[in-house]
Every structure is written in structure tokens, then in C-alpha cells.
Chains A and B, each alone.
Chain A
Amino acid sequence: MKKKLLSVLLAGCMVLSLAACGSGDSGSAPQDTSGTQTTQQDAAAPDTAKESDGAGDAAADPTNGEVVDGKFVETRKITVEVYDRGNDDGSDPTNNNYTKYIKEQMLAQHNVEVEFVAVPRWTEVEQINNLLAAGDAPDICLTYDYPTVQTYANMGGVLDLSSYVDDYRDMLPNLWNWLGETNIYWDKDPVNGTLWAIEGKRAVTNRINTFVRKDWLDKLGLKEPTTRQEFEDMIIAFRDNADLLLGADADKMIPYSVSFDVGWRAALLIESFIDPDVSDYEYYVNGFDDRALTQNGTKEAIRLLNKWYNDGLLWDDFALYGSGDSTEDDMIKAGYVGAFMHNWDYPYRDGENSIQTNLQRMVGPDAKFVVVDCFEDIKGGHNKFITSSAGDRKIFFPTTNTEPLASMMYLDFISSPEVIQYLQIGEEGVTHNKLEDGTIEIQAATGDDIQNSGFNIDYTITCNGLHLMDDELTLKSMAYSYSGIDPELVEVAHKVCNTDTRPAKNVNVGAIAAEEGQGPTLSSKRDVVYDTAVSAAVEDFDKVWDAGIADYLSSGGQAIMDERAEKWKATFGDTTALPE
């Protein structure tokens, strides 16, 4: 009886499963193919448009009457990615007063409905991967990670924008004015002319600064450090005077704080060890890692950090807290940290929640971080590697985008000076005040007027950083844009990170196949090399570093370098400098 029941049961299961399997299959398969068919058609559309355009009258409307006076005849609908920063007191990134403004304006100006899709800022690459793989990606995607775009392009998942930016150039005046050829063509393949992404523009190319506790310097009678040696002496003095500076909390003292991301949080120190005369060729070939891991000189910088770590000058637990963890920021806010490096304006950002404001609340009104400029290179000068206006956020359209023209018009709209200005400073009296000389002073907003990102850079996707219609006003206003922060501090920070700079150059030798899919793996390896080397015993440093680098190189790092060298030679020949 038992056996019989079991066999009937099993048979039943099988019948059921077969039936459902069959229906599941037949249900999903046609869906898939139809999906590909439409995307293929879409992908083909711009080409045919181009051909007919070229064959017929050159002045003919490239949209075939779909667009009249910049407006679509029929309402179109697009989706746009927006970062969700998960701020404690933020507004809904997909529905607030700024998104309302964008939606209304887009509908009025172009007859395009806009819907925002929130993607968590700190896991954006993973999220976009998932959305793309599922075919649910927004029509307009953005990412800081070009290799992701390249990988998807290789799979046929990204639209080639080259024909759109050229054929519709006359319809996209704001986009062309704002980004120019530099940013629009930055990623154009030199061989086959494909363009997978447009580079958003940094309005401000400020990168990174070193911050120290001015009140501690004053207490100890020290001057602001101007050399690496003085910086070292300063953090040693912090360590040795912990009792005086922190009293009962002396054991919590961290003279100089880095996080697990050593390559970023010690970037100025690391880059000061790179030869300022390094050739474009060498810098490019060794430059896949954006934290300078394989540049010549980096090892000696990390050796110094390793010494500091073993001398008790760094945070013991730096490697244990991952990305997005607020433990370190909390310690800085609580006043335990003497010095750190970060984004050029890091402690001043975020209004009421800024590090500086919190520090003063918890420690006292005298407590403050000031910017110092103290890492000289081997020639005694300063050589700060800064970014170019491109190389920041990349905008791309997945092949599931059925409204590429409407999407391009969105990019044009979001690049117009008026729109950028409105989104960045909002309404007068609500998000900003005007000072007597016209300077804009940002004030903390509430409710749906809260900007989740500074100057709403998450909405102004082609523009990162403050950009008002008047350049002079922009500079003045920038200093006043940090609510609760002395504008003078911001001016100093802006000045320091803009002296003795070396802007990044665009080395475009086509796609490097060895880089495909390697970005995240090699980045996490890079962090492992940095973290283990910094925290090794002094006598083990060489061993740990060399083993780490060997592992990094054999896991794909070397292949990338070789291919970069080879493609450089193929494009530029034997010269080691980029043509001007």
C-alpha cells in the first residue's frame, strides 16, 4: 500500500511538472524572441534613418515628421535612472519637487513623459547589471564604470549613440554646447567609430584634499604642515599628546585615518611618490587601476603607510569596515581623528549633517578641519593628478530603449543652462538666498524640496558640480553653498586642490579586450593588496606587497598592461607623449 501510494504520488508529480514545464517553456520562449526582435528592429532604426537621410534631401527632417518644433506629435514615455542615496532625512528620489519640475517641463517642451527609476548609489553597478540582464533597465542609464558599459556593448546590449549625436545635432543645441566634442566623443572607438556612452561633464574638477584638525595644531603650538615630514611629525605629536587632546578618550585617538580604500584615502600621499615627469605612455600602461596600484613609486608610499600603521599612527581596524559603513565618519565627527584625506570638500558637505558641523556640536565651536597642502613629490614640487572634465559619469542607452530620440532630447533638456541652474539652486527663499552682490547662498530645505545630492547632481546627469549661468557667480556661490560652513574654508579647499595640478588626458586606443569584466575583481584584489600590505609587520612588508602584486598581475593585471602597451604602439607609434 505504502509503495503504491508513493508511486502514484511520484507519477502525479511528474505529470504535473511536465505539464507546467511545457507551458512555462512555451510561455517564456516566444516572449524572449519577440523581445530580441523588437530590440533588433530598434537598433536598426537609426541606421535606416541615416541612410534615407543621406540618400535624400540633406535638409530633410531626420525624424520623418515625428517631431514638430521640438515636440513629439504623439506623447512618448521614457524612464530615467536616478541614484537613491538612502539619506536619513531625504526626499523620495523618484518623486519630489525637482522631479515634478522635470516631468512638467519635459511634457511641455517635448511632449515626453518622464519616469524615474531609483537605483541605490552604493551598489549601482550590481543593480544596473541586474536590471540590464532582466531587460528592465531604464531608458537612460548612468554609471561611473565604463567597463560595465563596454561589456554590455560587446554583448549587444547597448545602443550605439554615434548616429544620434551627429544626425540630430541641430536638435540638441544644449547638449552640444555644454558637453562639446571632448565629452561627447570621449569614448568613441577610434577604429570602428562606435559610441557606447556619452561622458557627463564635471563642472568642477576638484578631486581630493588633506584635512587636519586646526584646533589640535593650535593646542600643541604647531604650524600647518607643508611637507610630508612635517605631516608625519604632526601625526606623531597627535599620538603622543592624546591625553592632552582627548582626555579620558585618549585611547580612541586616531592620528591619521584611512579606510579599507587605502588607494583613495591616501591618494595624495601615494601620488606624490610617482615621478612628476612620468610619460603619458607609462602612466597609461600602468594606469588601469584608478588607485595607482601598479604605478612606479606606489610601493614606497605604501611602505611609509605600513611604518605609520605599525607605529600606531593609523586606525587599527581600518580594513574591517566595508564600503558605505559610517563608523569612520562617526569617529571623525566625534573628534577622535586628527587628519584624513577625502573628496576635496568632504567634511563640509551635507549641511546640518556635515562632519564639520557635527564636530563643532560634539567637541566645541573651535574644533574644525582645515585643508593643508603637504605632500611634495620627489622633485620637491607638488603634482596633483586631477581628472579631466570627462571620465566621471557615463550616460548610455540599453537596447531595450525604444525611445532613443526622446531620450536624447531629455539629455538636451537636462543640459540647458536654465534647467541646470534651477535644479541646482532651487527656488529663492526655499533652497537659497541671494546675498547683496548676487551670490547664491544655499540654505537647508525641508520636505520635498530637500536635495538628496549636493546641487542635485543626481538629476543634472550631464553636469556634476555647481554650474550657474554666470561663471563668476558660480565660484562665489560655491563657497557659500555649504550651509553652516565658513565660506573661507571652502575657498581655501578649492584653491589648494587646484594648484599644481596635472589633468588627466584621454588616451583612446579603442577597447582593451583584457579589461572586460575585470574591473570589479581587480578592484577588490587591489584593496586586498593595499590593506594587507599596510597592516603587515614591517619586516614582512616586501614579502606581502610582492606576493600581492604578483597575484594581481597574474589575475589579469599583466594582460591588461600588455594589451595597453600594444594598442598604444599601434595607435601612436614609438612616441611616449600624447599628441597635443
Chain B
Amino acid sequence: MKKEGKKAPVAQKKQSFGVYMKRYWQLYVLLALPMLYLLIFKYVPMIYIQIAFKKYSIVQSVWEMPLAANHGFEYFIKAFKNRDFINALRNTLVLNLLDLVIGFPAPIIFALILNELVFKRFKRVVQTIAYMPHFLSWVIIYGLALQIFAPSTGFLNMILTGLGFESIPFLNDSAHWVGTYIFLGVWQSFGWNSIVYLAAIAGINSELYEAASVDGAGRFKKMWHITLPGIKPTIVVLLVMNLGNILGSSFDRPFALQNNLVMDAAEVLATFVYKNGIKGLQFSLTTAVGFFQSIVCVIFLLLANWISRKLGERGIW
């Protein structure tokens, strides 16, 4: 087929495209709707990225707004001079790195353990329970966290003080709060994220395990030499995507969990943008911040992908 295509003259190629479209047009029709969605909701709004470089006005169209000072870079300069932004940047990095270090391996380990379970029914029950937190909104999770971790009325602290220990400031001390934040994040997502790995594990050829058993490999040997290498491409793809999001942050998780006592550790870029942009009306400044965030994310994504390819993995494209 490939050879044929190479040899074929131009006219014939055109004809084969027509034939091709005639055969597969239904697929493209199916594709049209999601493409339209992306266009309308993801690409068209990007026109307004310009306001990062312009003096924003609600009554002018984005094309009419005058360019900001310093060749349009005024708001980027302003952002980097703003201590709150630097803090938010640091917090975003720290929280995301911790999330990556602790939160990324968790679903892999969980999937490996789950895979070793012999009782099918027990496995299914565990799996379902582990998925469940994924469907809770962060506001509800914070409500639960308050019931459990609040310093005076939290269930856990009431037990601790009842036993004569000091209560632990899970939510009202910055260092403890970071721990709580990471823990709740892992708890909420590890079950759901393990689905991908479980699917990858299911795709591994079972003959490999049989052969390994014949060769005398135990559980751990099989896990190490068959399961892990089997899901390595999946791990790498997800790792690359996670690294691409190192400076991105969800809004609802930090926003729901933060409180005034831990703001020095809890203010992240997403909440900074909300406070200064939506509430403080500094739309240009916060668009600049968002734009910067996206640029860094793209750089990280490309870099991680490049490294993974260098290391002989497939990367995501």
C-alpha cells in the first residue's frame, strides 16, 4: 500500500483522496461536533488573551483597546513585582510537586495491589469504594474535613484531646495544612486514576506470567519484571501530562480548602487570579498571569516529552 502510494502519479492520488473521503465521511461527521465544541469554547475565547498586553476596558472590543505600557508587557512586569504573585507561584509549584511525588505513584501502587487480589468480589468492592471520593465536590470534601480535622470540634481532634493529647492543627497551621491538602487530594483521586493502570495491566499478555511462573518467578518478581514494564508506556504518558500541568492548578480544590490562617501556603495562582481578576477587576494583570502559566506549562510538557523520547519511551506524540 505504502509503495503503491509512492509510485502513484498526482492525479491518481487526488482520486484516491476522493475515494477515501467517500468511504470514511461518516467518521468526519462524527468528529465535527467535538471539533466545534473545541473551537467555540477553547479557541474563540483565546482571542481575548490579547488583554494581557492591553489596557482593558469593558466598553471597547478587544481590537480597539490600547496597548499597555512597556510595549504591552506592563502587566507581566507588574505581576513579577507583586509579592502575592510570587508567593502564589511558589505555593503552586510546591503543592503541585508534592502532589506529583506523593499523588502520582499512589494509583500505580494501588493498581498493582488490586491486581494481586485473588477474590474477585472483594476486589470489585474495594475498587468501587476507592472510586467514590472522585465524585464528591471539593466543597463537600472540605465540609467533611472540617468535621474530622477542625481543631476543637473535629472528630479526630476530639478523640486526641479525649485521650489526653494535644489537638493537631490539621487545617489552621500552614505546614499541617499542606499535609492535609495533599492527603485529601490523594484520597480523592487515587481510586479513579488507577482505572487507567488497571486497564493497562489487563492488556498484558497472560502467557508472560505463565512463562515466568514456569521459570520460578514469585509474585514480586512477576510484578517487577512483567507488570511494571507492561504498564511503563502508560506511566510515562501520564507522567508527561502531569509534568505539563506543574504550574497549572485546579481552582476548586485550593479555594475550598484554604482559610485565612494558612493563606501564606494556600494561595495558589488560580485563587490569586480569582481574587485579583474576577473580584478585583484587574483583568489584564490576571490574564497576563494566566498566560504566563500556560506558557510555562507548555514548555514543561514539551521538555518532559522530549526527555522521555530521549530515554527511549514513546512520549505522547
A residues sitting closer than 8 Å to B (CB atoms) are 1, 4, 8, 12-13, 16-17, 20-21, 24-25, 28-29, 32-33, 35-36, 39, 125-126, 129-130, 132-133, 135, 148, 151-152, 155-157, 252, 260, 315-317, 319-322, 399, 517-521, 524, 527-528, 530-532, 535, 551, 554-555
Contacts and interface: CB of A to CB of B under 8 A. Distances in A.
A531 B61 contact: no
B279 A129 contact: yes
B20 interface: yes
Lowest 7 CB-CB distances: which A-B pairs, in order? A32-B61, A316-B152, A520-B279, A531-B260, A157-B58, A155-B57, A20-B39
Contact of A155 (B1, B58, B84, B260): B58
A151 B279 CA distance: 12
B27 to A, nearest CB: 9
B255 to A, nearest CB: 10
Q: Which of B39, B56, B58, B60 has the most CB of A within 10 A?
A: B58
Given A24-B44, A36-B61, A316-B151, A518 B280 contact: yes
Interface string B1-36: 110010000000000010010000000100110011
Interface in B263-280: 263, 275-276, 278-280
Q: Which of B39, B44, B275, B279 has the most CB of A within 10 A?
A: B279
B280 A21 contact: no
B35 A322 contact: no
B28 A12 contact: yes
Given A1-B1, A554-B83, A320 B146 contact: yes
Contacts of B278: 126, 129-130
Nearest to B162: A251
Nearest to B260: A531
Given A21-B44, A36-B64, A152-B58, A8 B151 contact: no
A8 B279 contact: no
A59 to B, nearest CB: 35
A301 to B, nearest CB: 18
B303 interface: no
B59 A36 contact: yes
Nearest to B36: A20
A33 B60 CA distance: 8
A148 B283 CA distance: 13
Contacts of B47: 25, 28
Chain B binding site: helix, strand, loop or mixed by DSSP?
A: helix
Contact of B59 (A148, A156, A315, A322): A156
Interface of B: 1-2, 5, 17, 20, 28, 31-32, 35-36, 39-40, 43-44, 47, 56-64, 82-84, 146, 150-153, 171-172, 259-261, 263, 275-276, 278-283
Contacts of A25: 47
B39 A17 contact: yes
Contacts of B283: 133
B20 A8 contact: yes
Contacts of B35: 13, 16-17
B209 to A, nearest CB: 30
Given A1-B1, A16-B32, A519-B280, A555 B84 contact: yes
B271 to A, nearest CB: 10
A555 B83 contact: yes
